[in-house]
Structure formats: structure tokens, C-alpha cells
A = this chain, B = another copy of it.
Amino acid sequence: MKKFVNDVEQLLQESLQGLAAAHSDLLTLHLNPTFVTRKQLPQPKVALISGGGSGHEPLHCGLIGAGMLDAACPGQVFTSPTPDQMLAAAAAVDRGKGVLFIVKNYAGDVMNFQMAVEMMQQPCATVLVNDDVAVERSTHGTGRRGVAGTLIVEKLVGAAAEAGASLDQCKALGDRVNSRTASMGVAFTSCTVPAAGRATFDIAEDEMEFGVGIHGEPGRRRGPVRPAQELVNELMAAILGDLQPRPGTEVLLHVNGFGGTPLIELYLLYHCASQLLEGEGLKVARSLVGNYTTALEMAGASLTVTLLDEEMKSLWDAPVHTAALRW
């Protein structure tokens, strides 16, 4: 395993110490239990807290700051955080207007955040993000996974909370953004969880995993690598089939790298995807391209489309000041 690491057991803590030191104007790191909070909490507002396994950076700790999250609870790599982290984070950032948890739909995260919610004394609510259309909706099992659309939910709800929205309004907005957001991705390589020391899955030199999850979960199928435009066509068919947008709808297009794909390729994907959307009569009104919801060093990328309205556009445009997203 080739990684910049000293002791695998200390990787997460040392990395969080680096994050907090590099962004000491923005972030405060708390240990025992581990969570990260926004340094400036200027006015009473709904507290937004997210979290999940590490290895998806900059999600979530890199998205803490004005106009976005108030705290995040990182678990070990690809491992859910625990309720004590969430409760301590909530106690640290609650300003009397309630706490909203934004949770990606994985069994471990859902269970741990649910336990925290049951122990909370303060008013709280949860938005469950499940934007990955690679997994079919069903009435059994955990259902669709939360992937790169989580950032969109966090940005829009973060802007609303900053502007004074109530807990109920933030919860309703989060659910609405999630219902208007769909994602799907493809992986060319696996990734290596440091504690495991070997690749999560094997994949041949000419193969890709179509519909992969952000922990290397299997997708819809394995197949040979194909030209970018063909991949985009197939990903977008699944995404638009789910969202069923009316012609003329304005959309946000987010091209997300999984960590090991260079920007030169991500912008090529953006070119292919934005042209396809315009050809379908949709208007790409906002965009985001980069490695935001990663799977360690996995090569691959996902496409996310969010159907916008005027309120959502204005929330997207609202100022944000975090380590990874700033305008």
C-alpha cells in the first residue's frame, strides 16, 4: 500500500489536525469524541450537522463554514461515526433554533444518526440523501445510496439556514432538493482502505464498474471501458429517467471526480454532459466540476443533476466560505 501515512491508526486524527491547522480561521477540531465545528457562529440559526465515514474528502469537514455546515462528524475511513460524536457536535453548535442532521443513506450512518436523534434533548430533524440512481428504488433493504448530491443539499440548506430559515423549513427544503437531485457514476479503478491495506475490489485493465458506489460498492454491471460520450449518454439516461424534467427546466450540473481522475478529464465530461442536457431542451444554469465527494484515490467520476427553481438558484449563489467551496 502506497500512501502518505505514519501509523494507520493515527491517519484520521493526523489528517484532521492538518485540516484544522491549514484552516485555523474557519475550523475547530475537537477530540474525544471527534468532530469539527465552524469557528464563527455569529447569530442564532438552525445548526446543520453532517458526517459519515472518512475517505470522501472534502465532504464533509471541508464544507463547514459560513453558508454551509456548522459541524461534521468524521468516522474512520468508510466507517460510520457514532452517536457520541453527533451528540457532542450538536451540543457545541446548537443555538436554540434546532439541529438538522444531513445523512447519506447507508445502513450504518442511518442507524447511528437515528440513535443520536433518539438521545437528543433539543428539537432536531434529519434529511436523508439518496440521490444514487444506480440502485433501483425498492421497499426492502437500505435503498438508494447518498452520493455527490449530498453537497448540493448541504449548500442549499446551508444558505437557507444562514438566512434565518426555521428547522421545519430547512428540513422541507432538504427533502425537496434531494427529491430533485439524481446522480450516477462509473469507476475505472478500486481504492485501498488504509486499514485493509489492499484494494477493495479487483478490476481488469480494460474494465469499468458502471454505477459504482463511493465506497467501491458494485454498480449495475462490469464492462469494457467505452468512449466518454457513450458513458455520459448512459449515465444521463438513468439520471433523466429518474428526474423526468420538463423541457426548459433549469438545472445544476455537477461533475464529481472520485479522487483519482484529473481535471482535464472531468472538464471533458462536463463538455459531453452539458451538451447532452442542452440537446434535451434543458438549460444548464449552474455548474460545479471537481473532486468533492471522493472515494479515496479511486479513478472515476459521477454526474449529478439537480432541477432548479428561482429559490434554489438564489440559495446556490448565496455566499459560502468553507475550505473546499467558497464564493
**Residues of A bordering B, CB below 8 Å:** 2-7, 11-12, 14-19, 21-22, 54-55, 57-58, 62, 77, 188-189, 205-206, 208, 225, 227-229, 231, 255, 259-272, 274, 284, 287, 289, 291, 294, 296-297, 299, 301, 326-327
Contacts and interface: CB of A to CB of B under 8 A. Distances in A.
Nearest to A2: B188
Contact of A21 (B261, B263, B274, B296): B274
A18 B269 contact: yes
11 contacts: A3-B188, A4-B228, A4-B301, A6-B229, A15-B265, A15-B271, A21-B271, A22-B267, A22-B274, A261-B297, A262-B296
Given A188-B2, A225-B2, A262-B259, A14 B268 contact: yes
Contacts of A262: 55, 57, 259, 294, 296-297
A205 B296 CA distance: 18
Contacts of A228: 4-6
Contact of A17 (B22, B271, B294, B297): B271
A210 to B, nearest CB: 13
B299 A2 contact: yes
A265 to B, nearest CB: 4
A303 to B, nearest CB: 11
A74 to B, nearest CB: 9
A170 B268 CA distance: 34
A301 B228 CA distance: 28
A177 to B, nearest CB: 21
Contacts of A14: 268, 271-272
For A11, A260, A287, A296, the residue with the greatest tally of chain B CB atoms inside 10 Å of its CB is A260
Contacts of A19: 267, 270
Contacts of A260: 259-260, 297, 299
Nearest to A274: B21
Contacts of A3: 188, 265
B4 A269 contact: yes
B264 A11 contact: yes
B263 A57 contact: yes
A15 B229 CA distance: 12
Contacts of A15: 264-265, 267-268, 271
Nearest to A19: B267
A22 B270 contact: yes
A9 B85 CA distance: 51
B188 A54 contact: no
Contacts of A270: 18-19, 21-22
A264 B225 CA distance: 28
